[in-house]
């Protein structure tokens, strides 16, 4: 164990902290996680934890979600500038105007949104439980879904549920192209292909499986398949290889890298714990409104 990691572990104990790490983080950050997971799993862990401090190694909306669920805890980000371009594609003011155009509609927001957008939503979802959330609703209820149109289109393909799509998308997943899938399949003919539902319909129509990152991790463990082409942010492959050393994993595209997810480092985790800086705190007025949508999501994920 190197000296930097030792310092982090000592400070973590001193601060009564827990380190939550998203699957797309750099390998050395993944290795110090108390819990490594997708946005749903991290939200659940934040809500369950009795730690006094949460060090959230992800992007800003994830730390906000932890603050919404844990107002009594101090939520820190090693690099507070780590944002999410897709989350930035929807703002509460514009959402309010769309709600006025569809007064009978309920708003389902992907967890990849700001606290202010969640406060304007009726229920949240993640890629892991989006289909389940939609299936829990009255089929006659009009739905506005924000911000990822491709996740929305995937849900429609699975449920037949029509909705008002927002014109948002993940800049990383749209870099995975149909030609990438075809090229990798030709190169690795024995491999299965699994992709994230934030990918485009053209990609999804070509593949064997569609999973959230937690679903990908489960499938990689349980499947007898020895080679898998992985269509999501390339950071997940480190975890997949570590947990399944007898299997081979290939990125669908080497371009599927989220620069924001790579902003954290061991040094920044240490500095955050030393100085207790970069706190993310959702204002109480927004938190009270947004927690209802988040709790509804979590209630469907037990």
Tens digits of residue pLDDT in 63-84: 999 999 999 999 999 999 999 9
Confidence of residue 291 (pLDDT cuts 50, 70, 90): very high
> Taking the CB of residue 42, how many other CB atoms lie within 10 A of it?
28
Q: What does residue 168 show for φ and ψ, rounded to 5 degrees?
A: -120, 165
| Mean pLDDT score, 233-261 | 98
pLDDT above 80: residue 99: yes
| Mean pLDDT score, 165-170 | 98
Predicted TM-score (pTM) of the model is 0.94
The structure tokens listed for 184 are 């990798």
Is residue 159 exposed (0-12), middle (13-18) or buried (19+ Cβ within 10 Å)?
middle
pLDDT above 80: residue 301: no
Mean pLDDT of the residues in the chain: 95
| Mean pLDDT score, 17-25 | 97
pLDDT above 90: residue 268: yes
Q: What does residue 32 show for φ and ψ, rounded to 5 degrees?
A: -100, 10
| Mean pLDDT score, 79-102 | 96
Confidence (pLDDT) at 302: 62
pLDDT above 80: residue 245: yes
Same fold, 87-169+290-299 and 173-257: yes
In CATH terms, the superfamily for domain 173-257 is NadA-like (3.40.50.10800)
Gyration radius of the chain over CA positions: 19
| Mean pLDDT score, 46-50 | 87
DSSP string, the chain: --HHHHHHHHHHHHHTEEEEEETTS-HHHHTT-SEEE-HHHHHHHHHH---SEEEEES-HHHHHHHHHH-TTSEEE-SSTT---TTGGG--HHHHHHHHHHSTT-EEEEESSS-HHHHHT-SEEE-TTTHHHHHHTS-TTS-EEEESBHHHHHHHHHHH----EE-SB--TTGGGS-HHHHHHHHHH-TT-EEEE-TTS-HHHHTT-SEE--HHHHHHHHHH---SEEEEES-TTHHHHHHHH-TTSEEEES-TT---TGGG---HHHHHHHHHHT--B----HHHHHHHHHHHHHHHHTT-
The better pLDDT of the pair 145, 46 is held by 145
| Residue 52 to residue 279: CA distance in whole angstroms | 13
pLDDT above 70: residue 18: yes
Tens digits of residue pLDDT in 105-155: 999 999 999 999 999 999 999 998 999 999 999 888 999 999 999 999 999
pLDDT above 80: residue 243: yes
Confidence (pLDDT) at 1: 59
Q: Where are the domains of the chain?
A: 3-82+261-281, 87-169+290-299, 173-257
- Architecture of the domain whose range is 87-169+290-299: 3-Layer(aba) Sandwich (3.40)
CATH 2.160.10.10 assigned to 3-82+261-281: no
């Amino acid at each position: 164990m190197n000296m930097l990691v030792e310092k982090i572990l000592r400070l973590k104990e001193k601060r009564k902290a827990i380190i939550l790490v998203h699957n797309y983080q750099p390998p050395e950050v993944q290795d110090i996680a108390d819990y490594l997971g997708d946005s749903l799993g991290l939200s659940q862990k934040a809500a369950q934890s009795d730690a006094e401090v949460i060090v959230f190694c992800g992007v800003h909306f994830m730390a906000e979600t932890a603050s919404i669920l844990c107002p009594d805890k101090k939520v820190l980000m090693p690099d507070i500038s780590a944002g999410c371009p897709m989350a930035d594609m929807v703002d509460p003011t514009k959402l309010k105007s769309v709600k006025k155009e569809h007064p009978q509609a309920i708003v389902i927001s992907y967890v990849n949104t700001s606290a202010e957008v969640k406060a304007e939503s009726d229920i949240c979802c993640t890629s892991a439980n989006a289909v389940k959330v939609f299936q829990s609703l009255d089929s006659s209820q009009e739905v506005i879904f924000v911000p990822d149109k491709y996740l929305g289109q995937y849900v429609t393909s699975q449920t037949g549920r029509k909705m008002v799509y927002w014109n948002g998308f993940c800049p990383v997943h749209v870099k995975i192209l149909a030609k990438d899938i075809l090229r990798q399949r030709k190169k690795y003919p024995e491999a299965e292909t699994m992709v994230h539902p934030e990918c485009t319909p053209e990609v999804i129509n070509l593949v064997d499986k569609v999973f959230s990152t937690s679903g990908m991790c489960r499938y990689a463990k349980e499947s007898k398949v020895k080679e898998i082409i992985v269509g999501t942010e390339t950071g997940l492959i480190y975890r997949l290889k570590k947990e399944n050393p007898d299997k081979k994993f290939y990125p669908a595209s080497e371009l599927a890298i989220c620069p924001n997810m790579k902003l954290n480092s061991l040094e920044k985790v240490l500095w955050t714990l030393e100085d207790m800086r970069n706190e993310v705190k959702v204002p109480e007025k927004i938190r009270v409104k947004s927690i209802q949508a988040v709790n509804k999501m979590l209630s469907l994920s037990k």
